[in-house]
Structure 1
């Protein structure tokens, strides 16, 4: 196990063109305690993101190729952050994306295993690995197996990728491997399938279900990854904002209208209401919006020593206030309706 008092010297971050990967690079590059920060991606980040990266060095290479091992060896990397999985925030899942995810993770883990300089590997995973079903527990802790394990999509990819990371930890006992399972990320700058879905003026929901949701603010997602990089806490950790709300509560808080539909029509009707392009709903997202998913974050606070700044409610409010979401029904209107409903209920008693 690596010495948790030793600050990283040379950090390599994959997925530098994504929001999470790119802005994490910017945070790390601003830290003078880190000697060198390497930003890796096959795509060149946006110009504004490149500027934010400051002194970080950008390496344009494909993580599916052996060149990733050469880069790790050449720069004597001691900390590898595999954030290329952040592509799932916006890109629709496909055979090409699956190859990128799985083969890329295999190459990164193999390169880290062969390099004697690498002492830490941090994997950005998500709560998708738990799946979503009617038989789920009220809260998923890190040791809770999925009641209905994802068979396809990003959830399946991440289960496989996490397996590679844990295998690496077994083979390299001198290396710290940390898996960060982030809850659904929202914020004014990041674009995700959830943010696209909630931005619809009329939001389709599955009739007869009230999924319980948690959100993680984009700044807290970045802060959690930075926290793990700067400290050495091996293991798997759920990351989520405090508090829970139902999907209906979220829609009303945003000021949009709910349209209950049969489960099989959720994805197609959502597509009709707005062309979500790269953020189209898939079956795993439909299951999540039917049954919900709530994480137990006890280990995040007690063992990792991290506490998000934003609660679930505050995350949603900031997404509305600064993310360009326009309410079509104000909060005062909803409160007036609720008061009338409560008054009518009292009269019936």
Structure 2
């Protein structure tokens, strides 16, 4: 099996590449990244392609030719203060990838979507893959994920022979990516988190409940979907669901109950001051993203989580303190 992975150098991409290169069924893995990483412990082939660039569809189609499957992971998670750059990667880039899949006649596409495509559910309700997917209003991350799934719908209608799987995790973390995750979430505050190793206060509405996914567990679902040539959507997350108070303890601090409107106002002020890259809609995304029922991945792919979400979050938080600011690449928020 020959597999091409876009976004192969990222948080999830590195876990997917590790999974694929450990399987005897996979004879060839090609990684697509805007910048080829200088160190590659897995020894895969690499192509330097910016998926959002004009003309990228041609370069991608060349890389995809002869592939048994493409895994699409390339994504600009946080807009920060540059929404056009996010749209360029997420919307134009995904359109280029899908165009290239069609041109190269790739038989199987596995797209990393997100639980952020789901509409709001009542607190504590676990949703299955048939839950309405109109996303979280106002969240650019959520709306981009919904838009790309709409593109997949149209591609599937045009190419019924193409097998398409959609993987929908909640927040994906791993200790190896702790520095990058801290920079994405905390921006200019990341060096402080590095020094003190914890988040002293976590202001969140008391009803907040969420889950996290270890990158390796997400990679396991991606890999199983590839080997099974699976189609359709698959939820993936680790247990247990965590309350705001539990999240605060795991982050080394104290939960401060706060209303959603006040949290949004605080995020808005600190975002406009460029203290971090998370705009107020990230509060809505955290609060409104529903809990996931992963029965389909378990029954159809034989998947089960290997990680406890609490331990993964704790290990990731502790890993922030082990990287120097230089290694972490901490810088001013753009």
TM-score with structure 1 setting the length: 0.76
Cα RMSD (Å): 3.2
Count the aligned residue pairs. Answer: 307
Contact 1:16 1:39 in 2 (8 A): yes
Larger RCO (CA under 8 A, 6+ residues apart): 2
Q: 2:154 is matched with which residue?
A: 167
- CA shift, 1:131, in A, is 4.6
TM-score with structure 2 setting the length: 0.79
Contact 2:175 2:312 in 1 (8 A): no
Whether 1:304 aligns to 2:301 is yes
Instruction: Find the structure with the greater CA-based Rg.
Output: 1
Whether 1:129 aligns to 2:121 is no
**Counterpart among 74, 81, 88 of residue 71 in structure 2:** 81
Q: Aligned in 2, Cα 1:261/1:211: closer, same or farther, shift over 3 Å?
A: closer
Whether 1:225 aligns to 2:225 is no
CA–CA separation in structure 1 for the residues paired with 2:275 and 2:5 = 24
CA–CA separation in structure 1 for the residues paired with 2:298 and 2:273 = 35
Q: 1:57 is matched with which residue?
A: 45
Please identify, of 70-79 and 209-218, the stretch whose mean Cα deviation from structure 2 is larger. 70-79
Q: Which runs of 5+ in 2 are unaligned?
A: 187-192, 323-334
Q: Which runs of 5+ in 1 are unaligned?
A: 1-8, 326-349
Q: 2:35 is matched with which residue?
A: 43
Q: 2:201 is matched with which residue?
A: 202
Contact 1:189 1:323 in 2 (8 A): no
- CA shift, 1:36, in A, is 2.1
Q: Aligned in 2, Cα 1:157/1:243: closer, same or farther, shift over 3 Å?
A: same
Report the secondary structure of 2:50's partner residue.
coil
Q: 1:97 is matched with which residue?
A: 86
What are the Cα deviations for residues 5-26 of structure 1, in whole angstroms up to 9, with x where unaligned? xxxx221111123221234234
Q: 2:209 is matched with which residue?
A: 212
Q: 1:22 is matched with which residue?
A: 14
What are the Cα deviations for residues 269-327 of structure 1, in whole angstroms up to 9, with x where unaligned? 469899997963233321134445311111121123211111333333433555549xx
CA–CA separation in structure 2 for the residues paired with 1:252 and 1:99 = 37
- CA shift, 1:255, in A, is 3.1
What are the Cα deviations for residues 183-217 of structure 1, in whole angstroms up to 9, with x where unaligned? 112321224369946952221223xx321111111
Please identify, of 279-288 and 105-114, the stretch whose mean Cα deviation from structure 2 is larger. 279-288
